[in-house]
Structures are given as C-alpha cells and as structure tokens.
Amino acid sequence: MFPVIATIFVAVPIVEIYLLIQVGQVIGAGWTILLVILTAVIGVWLLRIQGLSTLMRAQKKMQSGELPAYEMLEGMGLVVAGALLLTPGFFTDTIGFLLLLPPIRIWLVGRIASRMVVSPTMGPQPGRSSQNNVIDGVNYRRED
C-alpha cells in the first residue's frame, strides 16, 4: 500500500505542473490562474449543495432509527472531492468534479460499501474477557 501512496504523491504534482504549463502556454498565465480559481469556487459551491443534501438524508435516516452508513461514506467522498477541488490544478479538479457527479460517487460508495463488514452486535468481542469491562457500582465507596 505504501508504494502506491508514494507513487501518487510523486506523480500527481508532476501531472499538475505539466498541465498548468501546457494550459498556460495556450491561454496565458493570467487566464490559467483565473481558471484554477474559478474551478475551485464552482467546485466548493457544488460541494456545499451536495453536502447539505447528504447531511439531510443522513438526518432523516437517524430520525427513523437507521444507521446512515451509506450517507457517511458518501460524505467522506465529498470531503475528498472538496480537498481535491481546493488543491490548485486541473488534474485534481477533474477528479474532484467527477466525485461530485452523483452516479460516479454512488458507484464508488457502493464498491467501498460492498467490501465493508458491519457488525450489528454491541457487546463483548469474541476472545476478550468482559470481566475487565464491568464496574460494579453497588460496592462503590470513596477513599481519600
């Protein structure tokens, strides 16, 4: 896993610099900077709308007694999209905007959710002693 993350941390800035130089040569440095700022502003605006929608769906599920696990994963996807949109560059903006598209985000969240295991039980875990977790309050006394 570490080699993949290290490669991403090296490759993404190189791709961003390359794209910024290429776009800057075509439309000029000032327009390139303006375009990067504009994509960030539009992205944050879209992120706000979709984030509020996801939050309202999660609140409805909690009010009905359901666990909003899917909405929480979707919210994490929106956080990643927001971070990518605020990172200057066209490559990260493209990935951030793709994560803002509901069909792509729903597909990605579905793939992540299908690999997760949720345990509905709340109690002692197998292999752990529950004796250390219990405090008997009947025989409690304070000693100074």
What amino acid is encoded at 142 in this protein? R
* Mean pLDDT lowest among 52-61, 84-93, 119-128: 119-128
pLDDT digits (tens, 9 = 90+) for 92-130: 999 999 999 989 988 988 888 888 765 555 555 555 555
- 20 three-state secondary structure: helix
CA distance 127 to 39: 52
- 12 three-state secondary structure: helix
CA distance 25 to 40: 21
The percentage of residues in the chain with a pLDDT greater than 70, rounded to a whole number, is 83
Longest Cα–Cα distance of the chain, Å, equals: 79
Tokens 């597909």 sit on residue: 107
